[in-house]
Amino acid sequence: MKPRVLVEQCRRISIRDLIVKAELIRPGEHTRFRLPDLPYIFHGYLSEDWETGFIEIEGGHGCHWPIRRKATHLLHCWDDSHFFILGYSDGKPARALLLTTTRAGTRSDLSAHYRSSHINSTKRRLQKRQRIFADLLIVDDPANMTRCYVPECAGGDGGLVVEQKPRGMWWQTWWRRFRHSQPEIVLVPVRRPCGINTNRFHRYLDQINAHHIRAGKIARLSPPSPSRRSPAPPRSRRQAGAGDVDGSGAIGWMESVFKRS
């Protein structure tokens, strides 16, 4: 299986920059040029009417990519047009040519993905959810996103406003009655495994219940992580205080920032 190509790890060459900014591809001429830090020789051509052309890499690295132009709504502004190339695999337009150590082509030619879509893919989220289920000894299907998992040791409320379990009643009986009183939410009690502290246990439950927390069905069990960013300076005199005439409030804010750093 070939490794996945990430766009951030490729050398991106903008076709519009080659034509408009660098003027390495000029209308009505066949030009050959090199780019910094690249050993390849590029061959480019653009018609005199700026409509069609091509770019290729000499020496057999890659292939031939046609160049097309798309005018914008601004009339008589050739430098504001969009230039793109057509992929050799499916003919889809792309604004940049991607170069790896062994291959070249558009994003569709290389089947490249952005790092964010690669990390936040459904498969990776499901694998992370499956690992948490294994750590918490939950035997349910990780792909089932309709259930809310709440701690059993904390009274089973999981952030919901419910009545406390009566003293002397079995947990199983209380949970059965509580589930029937909440028909719109499927609650699953989870017992904290040995070897996992309460903070980590609550953080795991918040991760598998993240979509329910965003929907407002349940509340967070663990406090949100504090922001590492320093507080912003006051934007107006009213926020800074009417009595801050000599600027002592702003000076105090700067000193607090320097102490943190």
Displacement of CA 126 from its chain's centroid (Å): 16
pLDDT for 43: 93
Whether residue 221 is contained in a domain is answered as no
Statement to judge: residues 106 and 133 lie in one domain: no
Whether residue 241 is contained in a domain is answered as no
Other C-beta atoms closer than 10 Å to the C-beta of 16 total 17
98, 105 contact by CB (below 8 A): yes
Q: Which residues have CB under 8 Å from 31's CB, separation 6+?
A: 24, 25, 43, 44, 45
pLDDT band at 12 (very low <50, low <70, confident <90, very high): very high
> Any idea how long the chain is?
261
| pLDDT tens digits, one per residue of 56-107 | 998 765 578 999 988 766 555 555 678 999 998 888 999 999 998 888 899 9
Statement to judge: residues 176 and 92 lie in one domain: no
Q: What is the DSSP letter of 137?
A: T
Residue found under tokens 């509340």: 219
pLDDT band at 160 (very low <50, low <70, confident <90, very high): very low
Mean pLDDT of the chain: 78
Whether residue 230 is contained in a domain is answered as no
Q: Is the pLDDT of residue 156 over 60?
A: no
Range(s) of the domain holding residue 52: 7-117
Among the candidates 49, 83, 117, a domain finishes at 117
Statement to judge: residues 18 and 112 lie in one domain: yes
pLDDT band at 55 (very low <50, low <70, confident <90, very high): very high
What pTM, to 2 d.p., does this model score? Answer: 0.51
Displacement of CA 199 from its chain's centroid (Å): 27
- Counting the structural domains of the chain, the total is 2
Kindly state the average pLDDT of the residues 113-133: 83
The secondary structure element, H or E, covering residue 126 is: helix 122-135
Closest CA to 100 of 4, 20, 217: 4
Closest CA to 116 of 108, 104, 124, 106: 124
Q: What is the DSSP string of 206-222?
A: HHHTHHHHHHTSS--SS
